[in-house]
Amino acid sequence: AISDVREQVDDAKPDLPSESEEPVIEEINFSEFPVVVVTLAGQVPERTLLRLGRDLEDAIEGLDPVLKAELTGTRDEMVEILIDPVKVESYGLSPGEAIASVTSSNRLIAAGAQDTGRGSFSLKVPGLLESVTEIAELPVATAGDSVVRLGDIGEVRRAFKDPKSFARIDGRRAVTLEVSKHAGENLIDTVAMVREKVEAERAHWPAELKKAVRVAYAQDKSTDIAERLSTLENSVISAVLLVMIVIVAALGWRSAGLVGVAIPGSFLTGILLLYAVGFTMNMVVLFGLVLAVGMLVDGAIVVTEFADRKMVEGLHRKEAYALAAKRMAPPIMASTLTTLAAFLPLVFWPGVVGEFMKYLPFTLLATLSASLLMALVFVPTLGAYVGKPGEAAAGEMQALSGEDVDMNRVMAGAGPMTRRYLGVLTFAIDRPGRVIVGTVVLLLSVVAIYFAFGKGVEFFPKTEPSTAQVQVRARGNLSIWERDALMREVEAQVQQVGGIDMVYTRTRSNPTSDAAEDIVGTVFIEFSHWRDRPNAVKILDEIRERTAPIAGIVVNAVKSEHGPRQGKPVYVELSSRHTDLLNPAARKLTTAMETMGGFVDIEDTLPLPGIDWAFDVDRAQAAKFGADVSSIGSTIMLATGGVRLGGYRPDDSDDEVDVRVRFPDQYRTLDELGRMRVKTPGGMTPIANFVDMTPKPKTGTISRTDARRVVKVKADVAEGLLVDDKVREIKAWLATAGLDSRISVKFKGEDEEQAKAKAFLSKAFGVALFLIAIILVTQFNSFYSAALILSAVMMSTLGVFIGLLLTGQPFGIIMSGIGVIALAGVVVNNNIVLIDTFDRLKHAAATQRDAILLTGAQRLRPVMLTTVTTMLGLLPMCFNVGIDFIDRTVVVGAPANQMWVQLSIAIVAGLGFATILTLVVTPSALMLRANVAQWWERRRALDNR
């Protein structure tokens, strides 16, 4: 794509004005964004900071993982020739003659070669300037024996170019090194190597320099990521411990040990598979492991529980585990395949969101595939040597063992929970029609209640940030010094706010390409640790309050986002081929958003008010005086940035510096511009004789998309409000606003990504159901059984709604959507095991009713175990509670877990609700089918008579 863009730009170049700058085509690579900013601040000469910064730049870029270390906050050096126009005229010279003296003398001339017959020699005329003194001694003119040198008409000195930006750390002038890494390199290791290299270089500094220059690290992503990874690692450990506690309580130590083997075995195998395809450990992978913990043991629990029953019946452990692996292989394989089928479509998720979330399905596919191997190969093999039935449930297993259905024996030997369940199940299957109708009514009631009292929809969960940006906007023709004065006022207010560790300020003369045109600078904030400060929203609100009295500026306080959400969530793009319609429409929209309320930090890309000075040359009048546009332009340039005469490489620098000539400061004003004079055949003539200085409206940045002029309006929403609700308000306003039909309005940003994600997840859900249905029909050879098993998906989806209602969470398009799809593959497992057992027992039972009751009694424990283990692994995430095993503390509200709360709630609530209904509704549906079959047989028998 970028090659095609370059070709089109090259084709358009001939149509551009000759004085226009070279078009720049850049490919944005997120891996090139800085991972840490090394800052040098102190009350030392600017050249000292520059030298230290360049030394560190070379040292850091020598590290293998580092892509580049970009030095900012500095000014480029130059050799500045300040010629005094009064002195120039006193010698009867013109600025052009001074310029020509330098350009003609700063050359290396290759004069060819000479063959003398005795050898061949290259001839060169070395004319490159080698020092500032040499430049000052250049002759400009002669008068008899006198020589007018460049130093006679001006000052030649080493200087810095006019500043275009300023950088400060906590109010102290600084230079910064923005370090980015190569794609695929470990971020935490890279930052550690950078810190180590900086400290090694700093060790060689003189003692007074170490004391005067402070080295600090800003925007260090490794610290935040390391803490988030640590939090999720603790969550994995907590999930494993909770699952193992339940398994030990239910199966005993020996059987629990066999089941527990599936967790580390599946983890290690899955992680090796991930590394094999080039994935590294990250937050999404770690949450995938948390999610997988409870599911990894499902197959092992079923095999171990079946083997325990067979050992109670009298089989040797080797025969019992061999039979368990053989007998339970089909349902376990079907259950695992249905779970894999649910996550498989997510692998093909396109776009930025898909790039972020792809690690989750890959992690689950890898670990769950490994768990199948563990359940059917490793656990039976180990069980054949060390297996022994658990003592706690030996009596109940004895009662439930065998395939001859004796319900009196079952009821007599069953445990308290099983007896209570059989009582409920007996009540349900004796009136299956009512149970089915009641379930349908319950599900419809849940839907109605959710749509009446639900908390709405959001794209992605909000998390507590560790950094934020305060963007300062101001309008007018502001100089870099005026911009920096405004930034200092804002900076002073920000430094007085509590809960902030570091303030990094940058003032720019020109905004970056994606920023609003009126941004004069940005204050980057690093918050204190989240446990030691108020909520970031409160801190940013205080900043807005403190900076509100500062006249002439607008302050946007924007917190950093984790995950695929980036930038302001409300993003409206207006476009038209009729440019005169856009500006009024955009102003009308921003006014409406301010009136609606609930929007904060509204910004737009409307052209800014300002003026440019145009020097209109009367060519005919200029010709009368013998002047031309070129000489006039060169003279005017002397009153601005100057005329570049060439390059010069000082002995103490690796880089070439510019040689520039211009007038001193007192002659670089608008008033002096009108009094400037150029040399003509008639002498020095004021340019005012043939040049008119006229102010004109400033031309700002012009944006086009598909050849249409574009104006963008962006905003954030106030805390406690949902972006989706506010976007709906804007859409409702647009429907009645009466904007010209020639204006196209598109919602981009979060609304656009939300629509794409919603469309993809809907398709993925349909594909997952289709794949699961194929697996079920193949396994059971019955459409009724397949449909009955899939009914659990509807129950789980409504269980998600119940969970969100009880916790007050909105439905997250990304997280809740993934939860619904994940549940489609998980909740069917219980139905698969129930129906598979029923199909086996119904041939030995006297009645279908007895077969259903024994099926429920036999499968209650494994169904509850697999459900509880999956739920327990995620339960701490639902309440954002964890244990820090290093500090031995309980952590509540960790930012690393906030992202996963919705997904955890969706799976826990959906699985719990669906399991409870499955244990009652599925047997009732089986009983209903049996009753209908009996009724049909009786009717056929009557018809045959």
Residues 6+ apart with CB under 8 A from 732: none
Give helix 317-343 / helix 750-780 axis angle, nearest 10°.
Answer: 140
Interval 252-256 mean pLDDT = 81
| pLDDT given at position 896 | 83
CATH topology of 77-160+616-687 equal to that of 464-560?
Answer: no
Identify the pLDDT of residue 411: 58
What sign does the dihedral 408-409-415-417 (CA atoms) show?
negative
Residue 191 binned pLDDT confidence (cut-offs 50, 70, 90): very high
pLDDT for 833-851, tens place per residue? 888 888 888 877 768 888 8
pLDDT in tens, 13-35: 777 665 556 676 655 555 567 88
- Percent over 90 (pLDDT), the chain: 23
Q: Which pLDDT does position 890 carry in this prediction?
A: 86
pLDDT tens digits for range 739-797: 888 999 999 888 888 899 999 999 999 999 999 999 999 888 889 888 988 988 889 99
Four-way CATH pick for 227-390: 1.20.1640.10, 3.40.640.10, 2.40.50.140, 2.40.30.110: 1.20.1640.10
Average pLDDT over residues 457-464: 88
Q: Where are the domains of the chain?
A: 2-71+178-219, 77-160+616-687, 227-390, 417-453+782-937, 464-560
Mean pLDDT, range 878-890, rounded to an integer: 85
| pLDDT reading at 402 higher than 60 | no
Residue-level pLDDT at 32: 61
Least confident of 312-326, 333-347, 532-546, 841-855: 841-855
Span 226-244, average pLDDT = 85
Q: What pLDDT was estimated at residue 9?
A: 76
If one looks up domain 77-160+616-687 in CATH, what number appears?
Answer: 3.30.2090.10
**In terms of pLDDT, which residue wins out, 522 or 133?**
522
pLDDT at 408: 59
In this predicted structure, what is the pLDDT of residue 414?
64
- For residue 817, CA distances in Å to 21, 285, 765, 881, 890 come to 48, 18, 9, 23, 30
Residue-level pLDDT at 224: 81
Which of the pair, 592 or 634, is modelled with greater confidence? Answer: 592
- At residue 314, the pLDDT reads 78
DSSP string, 382-430: HHHHH----STTHHHHHHH-SSS--HHHHHHH--HHHHHHHHHHHHHHT
CATH match of 417-453+782-937 with 1.20.1640.10? yes
pLDDT of amino acid 493: 94
Using alpha carbons, list the distances in angstroms from residue 443 to 450, 792, 794, 799: 11, 12, 9, 9
> Mean pLDDT, to the nearest integer, of 870-896?
86
Coil vs helix vs strand at 609: coil
What average pLDDT does the segment 582-595 reach? 91
pLDDT tens string 385-396 = 887 765 545 555
- pLDDT for 906 equals 93
Question: Which CATH topology does 464-560 take?
Answer: Alpha-Beta Plaits (3.30.70)
Is residue 185 scored above 80 in pLDDT?
yes
Contact 545, 557 (CB under 8 A): no
pLDDT classification of 730: cutoffs 50, 70, 90 = very high
Share of the chain above pLDDT 70, in %: 91
pLDDT digits (tens, 9 = 90+) for 107-155: 666 666 777 667 777 776 666 677 788 888 888 888 777 888 888 888 8
Mean of per-residue pLDDT scores for the chain: 84
160, 75 Cβ separation under 8 angstroms? yes
- When pLDDT is averaged across residues 388-406 and rounded to a whole number, the result is 54
Tell me if 660 sits within 8 A of 78, measured CB to CB: yes
pLDDT for residue 392: 47
If you search the block for the tokens 């170049």, which residue do you land on? 13
- Read off the pLDDT of residues 350-377 as tens digits, 9 standing for 90 and up: 888 888 888 999 999 999 999 999 999 9
Pick the CATH number of 2-71+178-219 from 3.30.70, 3.40.1000, 3.30.450, 3.40.50: 3.30.70
Q: By C-alpha distance, which of 895, 92, 853 is closest to 428?
A: 853
Report pLDDT for 28.
53
Q: Which two tokens stand for residue 521?
A: 């600078």
Strand extents, DSSP E, 621-662: 643-648, 657-662
Q: Give the model's pLDDT for residue 686.
A: 85
